[in-house]
Each structure stands twice: as C-alpha cells, then as structure tokens.
Amino acid sequence: MATALMDELRRFGRQIRLQPMLSGAVVAIAAFIVIAYLAAGFPAAIAGAIGAAAGVALVKFPASGPLDESVDGARHLPPMRRDPRVRPFRADAPWARMIDALPDPVIAVDRDHIVLHANRAALDIFPSMRIGAVIALASRSPELTETIDHVVQYQEPRSVRLHERMPVERRLDATVSSLENDGGDLSAIIIVLHDVSERERLAQMRADFIAHASHELRTPLAALRGFIETLQGAAKNDVVARERFLGIMSSEAQRMSRILDDLLSLARLEMRAHIVPTGHVDVNEVLSEVVESLEPIAAAVETTIQVDGPGDPCLVRGDRDEIVQVLVNILQNAIKYGRHGGAVTVRVSFADDERRQLRIAIADDGPGIAEAHLPRLTERFYRVDEKSSREKGGTGLGLAIVKHILARHRGKLTISSALGVGSVFTVELPVDDRE
C-alpha cells in the first residue's frame, strides 16, 4: 500500500514540476504536510514520500524509528543560502561590541532584513525582536523596510520617521546606513534609533496650550470690544445700559487678569520644577489663615468649613506661599462647585505609621464628578462644565497649578468622587523631620 502511495505521489510531483509557477507553492505545502504528518505520529517513510513526490528532499527520514530521531535529522540540514557578497556575522566582531556600548538603540541587519545584532536599548524598545528573525516581526513599519532596501541597493545613508504602536506608541527617528568590510563588501545594515516621542508630546502640549490660552483670552477681549463699541454708539447716552455694561466689562477684565496671573504662576513653577523647597511650614497655621480668608466666599453661598486635625504643629518641607496656593485653590473649588448651603470638611492626618507623609483631605458634599473626568482634572484649561466654571470665575488652571506645586514638593494629589455624594481632594506632603 505504501509503495502504491509513493508511486502516485511521484507521478503527481512530476506533473506539478512541469508548471514552474506552481512549483514554489508546492514546495512550501509539501514541507508543511511533512511536518504535520510527523507531529501527528505518521510513519516517517510516508511523510518523507510526500516531500519527495514534490521534488523536495527536506530531510532523509529513517525507514523506522521514533519521532524524535526523525526530527533530529533536521539538525543536519545544510545552512540557509546567503548572498555571497554578505560577510558572515561574528557576534564578537569589534563593531558588535561597539554597538553594545552605545546608549542609543542600535540594530544590525543583513540585506535580507535578518537581525544580526541589537543592543540593550534597542531590545527595550522592541522586546519581541529576536536575533536571526526578520526585523519586520518586531517593527511593523513599512517605511523601515523600504529604507533598508534603499540602503542595500544604493549604499547611501537614509533617515526615516517611524510610528510604532506596539508594545507602546512611540515615534522614532531612524538613521539607516551600510557597514562595509575592508574589501568594500557589505557586512551589515546599521539602524540607529532616536526616540522623539517625548519631544513631540511636549510640542503638542505647547501647541494645545497656546490654542487654549488664546481662546480663553480672546473671549473676554471680544466682550470688552463689543461693549465699548455699544457705549460709543447706541448706548452712548443711556445711563442704565452704561452702568450695566461697565459692570460686565469690569468682570471680564478681572477674568483676564486672573488668567494672566495663573499663566505667570505656571511659568514660574515650571522654571523652578527641579528645585526642591528647603523651608519648613506649619500646615495647621497655614490652614487656619486660608480658612479665615475664604470665610466671606463660603458665607455668600451659605457653606460651612470644618477643620479636623491634630492640635500639635504639623511641619512639612516646602514653600509657604505655594502651599497656601494649593489649599486656596482646592478649598475655593470645594466652595464654588459644592452644594449651596453645604459643608466642606478638611481633615489633617498622617498617611503612614512612620509619620513621613502628611495627608490633607478636603471633601465637599456637592453633586460629584463623573469618573471619566477625574484623570483630566489637572490638565490646563480642562473644565467639567465650561459654562458653570466661567460664571463662577474659574480659569481652568487652578488644579494644574496644584499639580505643578506638589510635583516640586515631591508630594501628590489624589482625587475621588461619586455622583450625588461629593468629591474628595487629598494632598500628601513629605513631613519635615529635620531637627
């Protein structure tokens, strides 16, 4: 039966080889079937016959024997044919050691895009990259493939921008060049990468910031201009309209002033972001002053402010004015956006048993904030309700300032909220344990 099967397969193979366009596909299919049959436990002779019928001697299988013996024969296959102009790669080559010493991500491939070598920085960017595999398995960017082909063909350096989405989204500048040996033959293609993701992110943030700032300032400026034109024209002699318009104009001018003040505060904080404050501040003392200064605003909306904390001084390391600004910004938000006639509670405690972190939790009983908004609350000019924020004099920069101040103080801000219950803004600051 096996002899008849082999004769039939050989006849089929001869017919296929007469069709040149199909021969390559049959080789691949035959190889796949051989492997599948072996894995399924079929006799090696039958599996080998399938390959032989297609004219492909993948491996000489023994007439009988266990599967592992048959598979072991694959280890003795002749090496993959390579372009004779490509010098065999040596892992101990001087240039390979030089690649390992470079801080930038560097990858070496051959003209067939097979990865020959990669340093640690490159493997950090492409953790799925393997030596001996094609680079396309790690980087799916067609631009990189085209650039490698261009360098192989023309032997001239070329740069390309890559947009990688796996394992994380990155933007990379790749410089691809050829490495030749002493005889002028191609040894490898060298790919040097520069991660520009952070630079582009900052550039986008600046562009967004300018757009938002322009929009925020343009609105009150447009209102002022409109009222001025009205007062110069139709309402020139209208005393009632003039008084009303002047009041609105004053409010818009104050809003512009607040925006500019907050922008200047942010600029100063960014300039000093790397400087850790060295002063010491008593949080209890500062909190008493802040609550007292905000009492008139709270009384206007019939809101009470309750402070619950230790009576002993609570010293933290920081800049007094900046800590005052953190507490003012958060407490003002709690009063403005809390429930009319509600209560704002401030609790001061230690965050750990070692008393290394001081925790200040400011809670309101307002309508709460939807969870989707919480991660973006500290973004510049981000508002949950733009109309309500502007009506209440908000600039959209208060929590952004808080975030920058706490970053400089090596502290952190945590926000939690539940719709219909209220919000809690928790500040943690390092305790000043200096004698």
pLDDT (tens digit per residue) in 108-163 = 999 899 999 999 999 988 988 998 999 999 888 899 999 999 999 988 999 999 98
**pLDDT, mean of residues 367-387:** 86
Query: Which of 54-68, 183-197, 328-342, 349-363: highest mean pLDDT?
Result: 328-342
The share of the chain scoring above pLDDT 70, in percent, equals: 77
**pLDDT, mean of residues 371-389:** 84
Residue with tokens 């010293």: 315
Can you read off the two tokens belonging to residue 237? Answer: 């002699």
CB neighbour class for 139 (10 Å; exposed up to 12, middle 13-18, buried from 19): buried
Which has the higher per-residue pLDDT, 360 or 14? Answer: 360
Confidence of residue 11 (pLDDT cuts 50, 70, 90): low
**pLDDT, mean of residues 388-395:** 71
Q: Interior CA angle at 384 toward 380 and 389, to 5°?
A: 80
Q: Would you list the domain boundaries of the chain?
A: 2-76, 94-195, 200-271, 280-430
pLDDT above 50 (res 27)? no
Q: Provide the pLDDT for residue 113.
A: 93
In CATH, what class is 200-271?
mainly alpha
- Distance of alpha carbon 42 from the chain centroid: 51
What is the topology classification, in CATH, of domain 280-430?
A: Heat Shock Protein 90 (3.30.565)
Say yes or no: do domains 94-195 and 200-271 share a fold: no
pTM of the predicted model as reported, rounded to 2 decimal places: 0.53
Pairwise CA distance, residues 395 & 259, whole Å: 6
Cα→Cα distances 219→257, 377, 395, 398, Å: 13, 22, 12, 19
Domain 94-195, CATH 3.30.450.20 — does that match?
Answer: yes
pLDDT above 60 (res 84)? no
Confidence of residue 390 (pLDDT cuts 50, 70, 90): low
